[in-house]
Every structure is written in C-alpha cells, then in structure tokens.
C-alpha cells in the first residue's frame, strides 16, 4: 500500500517535471535570426516560371517562420524540388537535423510536444512547403523530386509558395540552416 503511494507520487512528480521541461523548452521567444547567417528581412525576388525559364533557385532560412518563394502558382501546376546547396548546417538549437528528415533523433521531449509542431504530420524541423499562407495545402517538397511523381497544386486561387522548417511558432530564434532550393515547374 505504502509502495503504491510512493509510486503514485513519483509518477505525478515525473509528469509535472516533464510538463515544466516542455514548457521551458518551448517557451515563446520573438522571431529573430540571432544564431544564423540569415536575416529576417530579405525576401526572395518575384519569379515567373514558364517554358523559357521553368526553374528558379531560392534561399530558404530555417530561422524564418515564412520564406516567401516569390513564385505564384495556380491549380493544376506541377513542380519538383531539389536542394542545390546547403549554405549553413540545418540545426535546431543543439539538435542536428537535415531538411528531408528533420531532427536526427526525435527525442522524448519532441515526441511529448508533437502537438506544438506547425505541421503535425511532418517531422520536427523537416522542410515544409505550403500553397499560400493558410496551410490549406501543406506538403513535404523534398519528397517530390521525380517528374513522374510531381507535386500538384490543388488550390483554386493563385497563391505564392512558402517554405519553413517545421518548428513551433515563436521557437525560430535558435534555428540555424540556410539552403538553396531549386523549384522546377514541369508543365510550363
């Protein structure tokens, strides 16, 4: 009986400490690029992709919660995506990551706090794309690299493509990582 009480108390303490750790680790902080070579206020140029110029190369920074691509798309457009170059290693605080799979280890805190991720069904810190800023059509761009299986836009209104590292909002300040992404329209 006594043991049961001790176990119950220990379990409660464990949960409380866990929740405090999660809240501490995921406390809000203003968006900055304080540990990155990127700057918050450098958008990509407006680019029009067509038959003459089907591809564009844009910069994507992990410390920006929205990377405007400058590319406007419409329903039925098809695209593939490739990383041309990683200019700065893709890293979330002290956690190593890569743009395709996100965190190399989706640790205990990451699993417990999965509901804080912007895109719940994608790995922490993976590169995510969206058509427009509403999250209506969210996708994993680096899964679409083959012309046989391209990403297809399914939103009626023309919208811009955006990209971000899949983090919690207001946790972008400690993000490092800059890459060049090639966007190719395959139905110019």
Give the interface with Ca ion as residue ranges (CB under 5 A): 92, 167, 171, 174-175
Residue with tokens 């406007």: 72
Asked whether the beta carbons of 25 and 174 are under 8 A apart, the reply is no
Of 34 and 160, the one with the shorter C-beta distance to Ca ion is 34
Least distance in Å: CB of 124 to Ca ion?
9
Of 97 and 183, the one with the shorter C-beta distance to Ca ion is 97
CA–CA separation, 53 and 70 (whole Å): 14
3-class secondary structure per residue, 107-173: CHHHHHCHHHCCCCCCCCCCEEEEECCCCCEEECHHHCCCCCCCEECCCCCCEEEEEEECCCCCCCC
Least distance in Å: CB of 174 to Ca ion?
5
Least distance in Å: CB of 130 to Ca ion?
18
> Which tokens hold the place of 63?
């410390």
Least distance in Å: CB of 60 to Ca ion?
15
- Of all residues in the shown chain, the one whose CB is closest to Ca ion is 171
Of 77 and 92, the one with the shorter C-beta distance to Ca ion is 92
Of 33 and 73, the one with the shorter C-beta distance to Ca ion is 33
Least distance in Å: CB of 147 to Ca ion?
34
Asked whether the beta carbons of 102 and 124 are under 8 A apart, the reply is yes
Of 36 and 175, the one with the shorter C-beta distance to Ca ion is 175
Let me know the angle formed at the C-alpha of 54 by 74 and 184, rounded to the nearest 5 degrees.
75
Least distance in Å: CB of 63 to Ca ion?
8
Other beta carbons within 10 Å of 169? 13
Of 71 and 99, the one with the shorter C-beta distance to Ca ion is 99
What is the DSSP code (8-state) at residue 47? B
């Amino acid at each position: 009986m006594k043991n049961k009480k001790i176990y119950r108390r220990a379990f409660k303490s464990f949960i409380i400490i866990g929740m405090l750790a999660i809240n501490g680790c995921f406390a809000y902080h203003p968006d900055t690029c304080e540990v990155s070579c990127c700057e918050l206020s450098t958008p990509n140029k407006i680019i029009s992709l067509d038959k003459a110029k089907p591809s564009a190369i844009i910069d994507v920074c992990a410390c920006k919660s929205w990377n405007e691509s400058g590319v406007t798309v419409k329903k039925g457009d098809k695209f593939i995506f490739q990383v041309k170059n990683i200019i700065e290693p893709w890293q979330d605080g002290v956690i190593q990551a890569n743009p395709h799979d996100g965190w190399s280890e989706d640790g205990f805190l990451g699993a417990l706090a999965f509901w804080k991720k912007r895109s719940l069904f994608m790995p922490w810190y993976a590169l995510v794309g969206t058509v427009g800023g509403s999250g209506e059509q969210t996708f994993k761009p680096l899964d679409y690299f083959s012309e046989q299986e391209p990403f297809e836009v399914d939103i009626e209104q023309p919208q811009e493509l955006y990209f971000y590292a899949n983090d919690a909002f207001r946790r972008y300040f400690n993000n490092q990582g800059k890459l060049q992404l090639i966007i190719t329209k395959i139905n110019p």
